[in-house]
Amino acid sequence: MKSFFQRNIRMPLFAALLIITATCVVRAQDPRIQLASLDHLAAKASQTVDVSIDERLMKIAATMLSDDGDEKAVKKLITGLKGIYVKNFEFEADGQYTAADLESIRTQLRTPAWTRMVNVNSRKEGAFEVYLMLTGEKVSGLAVLHSDAKELTVVNIVGPINLEKLTQLEGQLGIPDLGIEPQKPKTKNEEK
């Protein structure tokens, strides 16, 4: 016969283990990237940009945009987003950040939930990487890493993203030019 301890502790212990496991699985699927590992670079940088707009602030920002022209398009695009997070460091000299600094970000993007869509390496312009998190057929997160000898930028957009309209966010809310070209409609000659 099992002791009182064995009978009454085993079930709560199993339930606690299930909760911890579920929390880890949910956390692994989070489209928000943790950028705090880069904070130490601010002391070395000649210029730093740090944008952290969560869902609450996103709603406030949307109310501040007008319903005219470009602002209307941006307002429509950010509606539904959960956050925009940007870290940009510009340095006076080369070698102010290490491969380990980038690896702390890339490690988070190597989960099955993230897919690397673009990887460009150039001796002149540095490295440029774009990652997407897909939930079913919908984009639920975007991460962009750009690094060159004197600059490091990480952009993380959380929430449902329309890639065709994403270019409208470039230059807005601290998001740099991402180099994403909007698709032009095909002409009848190109379709043939």
Contacts of 101 (CB under 8 A, 6+ apart): 37, 38, 41, 152
pTM score above 0.75: no
CA–CA distance, 11 with 128 (Å, rounded to integer): 49
| Residue ranges per structural domain of the chain | 1-27, 31-177
The residue type of 172 is Q
Full pLDDT tens readout for the chain, 192 residues: 444 444 444 434 333 333 443 333 434 468 999 999 999 999 999 999 999 999 999 888 888 888 887 777 777 778 888 999 999 999 999 999 999 999 999 999 999 999 999 899 988 889 999 999 988 888 999 999 999 999 999 999 999 887 766 666 655 555 656 555 544 444 445 444
Of 67, 86, 84, which Cα lies nearest the Cα of 151? 86
Helix (H, G, I), strand (E, B) or coil at 92: coil
CA–CA distance, 73 with 76 (Å, rounded to integer): 5
